[in-house]
Amino acid sequence: MKNMKTKKTIRKVLVINSGSSSLKYQLFDMEKGERLAKGLVERIGCGGPADHAAALGQVVAELGNPKDIDAIGHRVLHGAEVFKDSVAVTPAVLAKLDKLVKFGPLHMPANIGGIRACQRIFKGVPNVAVFDTAFHQTMPDCAAMYAIDPKYYKKLGIRKYGFHGTSHRFVTLEAARFLGKSPSKVNLVTCHMGNGSSLAAVKNGECVDTTMGLTPLAGLVMGTRCGDIDAAAVLAIMEDGKLTPAETDTLLNKKSGLLALAGSSDCRDICAKAEKGDKAAELALEMLAYRTALYIGAYNTIVGGADAIVMTGGIGENSSEVRERIVNRLGALGIKLDKKANKIRGKAGTISAKGSKIPVVVLPTNEELMIARDTAAILGRGK
């Protein structure tokens, strides 16, 4: 009987994304390839459930007390250099995760708390950790290292890690299929553009560079994050306002980007304002498009010529306006927009014109499905 249990097919996979004060979940039937349920528990520890275990209790109730969940996949923010791939959770893995809290003091305790709560609530059900950083672990040192004294890398692990890796990996696989190429031969620039945004340079299916860094603050102009900034400018701001590191962190992560430039972190609001002639909103959109185009050009060089530019995330999948502003800056690469095709929203399609030298494609991301697939694959018995 014992053997029969270990050979059980992984059919129903619960995917958990625990944030600092929220918990999102999705339940998949991997045999049918269907999503069975989806939900969100909010205000954990601040008015709602007391902690992640209580939030999970709510999830169990919402799912009708299921007894047939075969495995649980967890989104984990940071795997540092320890986890280069998704991994089945064991006591040794949990001990290693505990040591990585310093890389994500806000998110990692919630991620780890979610895993521990699942172990208690879903007794005997295996857990898999899927890392936002893992896909980027193939970056060469010349892309990943900062030009500072190497002792800071050795002592503190300060280097570029990159995030949104599960999304970049998902759309890489989707793009290979869309283009009819082998995933291990495809060269891409993948643009995940949402409230947080990052680009990845993908060569032969592997990440060789990405715009986020030690933390998700670096790179593109985002909803509330500034993206790339001269470190000396940060020092000048700290000195002027006598800001602590924590206050500066809040300023750059939560009060910058589109919000600081034009009064809203939501791209739809900024587009609506720009449409009405708001100059600050217009500049914010141009800054966002400019920096994105800058990196697309750079990454096209790094991958040795992309087979496609891929757009995904809330903005990439839906905002014709932002896509047009980006693609209009890529003329030097022989890229031309098909304005009609660019009206596409939330589904896969090519938005570049027929004669475009490099196709630009929109491909909806699905991080939760990627986590569910990894979970089934890692446990070795799923589809």
Nearest distance from C-beta of residue 70 to ligand AMP, angstroms = 29
Closer residue to ligand AMP (CB): 308 or 315: 315
194 touching ligand AMP, by CB under 6 A: yes
CA atoms within 13 A on the CB side of 277: 0
User: Whose Cβ is closer to ligand AMP: residue 24's or residue 181's?
Assistant: 24
Among this protein's residues, is 132 annotated catalytic?
yes
Could you tell me if 227 and 220 are in contact, meaning their C-beta atoms sit under 8 angstroms apart?
yes
Q: Does 26 bind ligand AMP (CB under 6 A)?
A: no
**Helices 107-121 and 52-62: angle between axes, nearest 10 degrees:** 50
Whether the CB-CB separation of 56 and 90 falls below 8 Å is answered with: no
Q: Hey, how many other C-beta atoms are within 10 angstroms of the C-beta on 117?
A: 21
Selected binder of ligand AMP within 318, 350, 366, 375 (CB under 6 A): 318
Among 162, 314, 359, 382, binds ligand AMP (CB under 6 A): 314
> Which residue is catalytic, options 132, 209, 307, 374?
132
The stretch near ligand AMP (CB under 6 A) out of 76-84, 138-146, 248-256, 262-270 is: 262-270
Q: Does 268 bind ligand AMP (CB under 6 A)?
A: yes
**Applying CB under 6 A, does 362 fall inside the site for ligand AMP?**
no
Asked if 224 interacts with ligand AMP (CB under 6 A), we say: no
264 binds ligand AMP (CB under 6 A): no
Name the segment binding ligand AMP (CB under 6 A); options: 213-221, 278-286, 307-315, 375-383: 307-315
Using the minimum distance from each CB to ligand AMP, give the nearer residue, 79 or 223: 223
> Among residues 177 and 343, whose Cβ is nearest to ligand AMP?
343
CA distances from 334 to 13, 117, 199, 306, 322 (A): 44, 52, 20, 12, 19
Nearer to ligand AMP, 30 or 267 (CB): 267
CB of residue 314 to ligand AMP, shortest distance in Å: 2
Query: How many chain residues bind ligand AMP (CB under 6 A)?
Result: 11
The answer to whether 313 contacts ligand AMP (rule: CB under 6 A) is yes
For ligand AMP, the binding residue among 138, 195, 204, 248 (CB under 6 A) is: 195
The one among 80, 171, 220, 315 contacting ligand AMP by CB under 6 A: 315
CA dihedral 237, 239, 240, 244 (to 10 degrees): 80
13 vs 58, 193, 378, CA distance in Å? 18, 27, 12
Q: Is 319 in the site for ligand AMP (CB under 6 A)?
A: yes
CB of 5 to ligand AMP, least distance (A): 39
Name the residue with tokens 């909806």.
Answer: 364
Site for ligand AMP contains 282 (CB under 6 A): no
Angle at the Cα of 238 from the Cα atoms of 236 and 240, rounded to 5 degrees: 65
Q: Which residue is nearest to ligand AMP (CB)?
A: 314
Interface residues with ligand AMP (CB under 6 A) are 194-195, 223, 266-268, 313-315, 318-319
Active site residues: 132
